[in-house]
Amino acid sequence: MKIAKRFGWEAAHRLPWHEGLCCNLHGHSYRITVELEGEPDARGMVLDFQDLKQALSPLVKAWDHAILVADTDAELLAVAEQTGWKHAVLPFDTTAENLSDYVAGYLCEHAAEMLRAHRIRRVRVRLEETETCYAEAERTVTPETHANGAAQAAARQPAQ
Ligand SMILES: [Zn+2]
């Protein structure tokens, strides 16, 4: 059984090495479809859609009306920092492929416990950059995924 929920945000980005128009700062109305594969529980639910929304909400809030800037793009990074405009620094070029893969990884890491509790087997993220272009990333949810997610979550906790 598969369930899916759509999310969206507006953001600016550029690909500094691109030989066409994409090297210029420009915006997209990003739309993503997050698909989860698992089995319905006794109540007939794979996962509460609200729980999925809550899991992705911090990322969507951080990226909405922001500049998505690669940490290697010194020029754009300088503009974002000097102006104080809302921006998110990412450790990769902001292609649709990389963004979709990041969202899939984010969910597997930050919602590891939830995915495990609901026995979700697979996460798929389709990220639409325009009405005609999308990239799709997929992660298989394994016990290792959960263990790594839990370990990373624990590492972020301040030391007692
Ligand atoms: Zn673009």
Ligand 1 centre to CA of 121 (Å) is: 31
Q: Among 129, 150, 112, 159, which Cα is nearest to 29's?
A: 129
Q: Is residue 65 part of a domain?
A: yes
DSSP state of 119: T
DSSP state of 34: E
Residue range(s) defining the domain that contains residue 42: 2-155
Q: Is residue 46 part of a domain?
A: yes
Q: Is residue 160 part of a domain?
A: no
Q: Is residue 116 part of a domain?
A: yes
The C-alpha atoms of residue 51 and residue 93 are separated, in whole angstroms, by 29
Q: What is the CATH number of the domain that holds 116?
A: 3.30.479.10
Ligand 1 centre to CA of 11 (Å) is: 9
Q: What is the Cβ-side half-sphere exposure of residue 129, based on CA atoms within 13 angstroms? A: 18
pTM for the model stands at: 0.88
Ligand 1 centre to CA of 59 (Å) is: 19
DSSP state of 87: E
Amino acid at 26: H
pLDDT confidence band for 159 (50 / 70 / 90): very low
Q: pLDDT tens digits for 36-79?
A: 999 999 999 999 999 999 999 999 999 999 999 999 999 999 99
Ligand 1 centre to CA of 139 (Å) is: 24
Please report the pLDDT score of residue 31 as a whole number.
Answer: 98
Calculate the average pLDDT of the chain.
91
Q: Is residue 68 part of a domain?
A: yes
Share of the chain above pLDDT 90, in %: 88
Ligand 1 centre to CA of 109 (Å) is: 26
The C-alpha atoms of residue 83 and residue 105 are separated, in whole angstroms, by 30
Number of domains in the chain: 1
Residue 90's SS3 state is: strand
